[in-house]
Amino acid sequence: MMLEEKQKTDSLHITVLKNEAIDALQVVPGKWHIDATSGGGGHTQEILNRGGKVLGFDQDADAVERLNQRFAGNSSVRIVNRSFEHLKEVVELQDIEISGVLFDLGLSSDQLDKSHRGFSFLENSPLDMRMDKRNAVTAADLVNGLTERELTILLSTYGEVFMPKRIAQAIVKARDICPLLTTGDLAKVVEKAYGSRWSRNISPSTQVFQALRIAVNDELEVLKTGLSQAMDIASKGARIVVISFHSLEDRIVKHAFKAREDITVITTKVIVPSDEEISRNTRARSAKMRIAEKI
């Protein structure tokens, strides 16, 4: 393979809880499993290593292109460029039985570290944040289009942002002079609005960016739909394994598992990465895994 081609297929993402998640999935050799967030393909590969077949989803076209190249010619893998909110429809069309479903939520390092995607305030880029570019609304549309009250609610609901009203007011004041179109424009407004009131050692933009990303991709509603469909389509005895990265997601997973009578919750306590894994990959530090089984 030429070097340029190889760089396209290589993912920067380090898979979180790789062995723990696939152990939990209890892969059935020769049977189909869903990787609802195939991303860099690390979990997908581990399911294949254990003899399972994979129906992989990712709503990000760049991820799908890399996955298709990585798994080209492998008849045990099918990759679908759709959101996992369409799990049921895709499985019904493929007419296959599902022996396990894995969700590894959020963003991959490929998305976070590619500056043109607008997910990170560490690089200056257009304020986009869409995982699926087919969706119409970008972060810039929300930042420049919502009312001050709508922005306050968004920041407090999705980011648990400190002083959300103050940040919303600062955004509205700044955009009245000039629209905020880049990650740098927004980060500057947030930093200035907090000034010396900010004493924590993470950037004040972290939660603001998280809130916008969740809203742009409608992540919480999509998660509820995807989880419910996963539990519907899973065969008897199939495991449903979910790795989440913030408390809003984890709460949804916990309640979704509890609410179903056809599901046994396997994890009484969440599973978290070891200190060794966190020291190798700091992005693993907020991961929480929950496991359930269809009965």
Ligand X SMILES: C[S@@+](CC[C@H](N)C(=O)[O-])C[C@H]1O[C@@H](n2cnc3c(N)ncnc32)[C@H](O)[C@@H]1O
Give the footprint of ligand X on this chain (CB under 6 A).
11, 13, 15, 37, 39-43, 57-60, 63, 83-84, 104, 106-108, 131, 222
Q: Judged by CB, which is closer to ligand X: 58, or 293?
A: 58
* Residues 6 or more apart whose Cβ sits within 8 Å of residue 286: 245, 246
Exposure of 198 by Cβ count < 10 A (0-12 exposed, 13-18 middle, 19+ buried)? middle
We find the least distance from the C-beta atom of residue 63 to ligand X, in angstroms, to be 4
C-beta of 10 vs 92, nearer to ligand X: 10
Q: Which helix (H) or strand (E) element contains residue 34?
A: strand 32-35
Least distance (Å) between residue 39 CB and ligand X: 3
> Considering beta carbons, is residue 63 or 289 the nearer one to ligand X?
63
With respect to ligand X, which residue has the nearer C-beta, 43 or 288? 43
Q: How far is the CB of 60 from ligand X (least distance, A)?
A: 4
DSSP at 259: T
Q: Cite the DSSP H helix spans in 3-60.
A: 3-9, 18-25, 42-49
CA atoms of 195 and 86, how far apart (whole Å): 43
Q: Would you say 40 or 159 has its CB closer to ligand X?
A: 40
Q: Which conformational region is residue 182 in: left (phi greater than 0), alpha (psi within -120 to 50 degrees), or beta? A: beta
Q: Closest approach of Cβ 245 to ligand X, in Å?
A: 8
Per the structure block, which two tokens stand in for 21? 């998640």
246: nearest Cα among 288, 201, 283, 212: 288
Phi/psi for 102 (5° steps) reads -120, 135
Nearer to ligand X, 53 or 175 (CB): 53
Q: At what angle do helices 183-194 and 205-216 cross, to 10 degrees?
A: 130
60 vs 293, which CB is nearer to ligand X? 60
Residue 41, sorted as left (phi over 0), alpha (psi -120 to 50) or beta, turns out to be left
Distance CA 61, CA 48 (A): 22
CB of 178 to ligand X, least distance (A): 31
Q: How far is the CB of 107 from ligand X (least distance, A)?
A: 6
Output 182 or 217, the one with its CB closest to ligand X: 217
Min dist. Cβ of residue 152 to ligand X (A) = 26
- Compute the least distance from the CB of residue 62 to ligand X, in Å: 9
In 3D, which of 71, 61, 104, 133 has the Cα closest to residue 223?
104
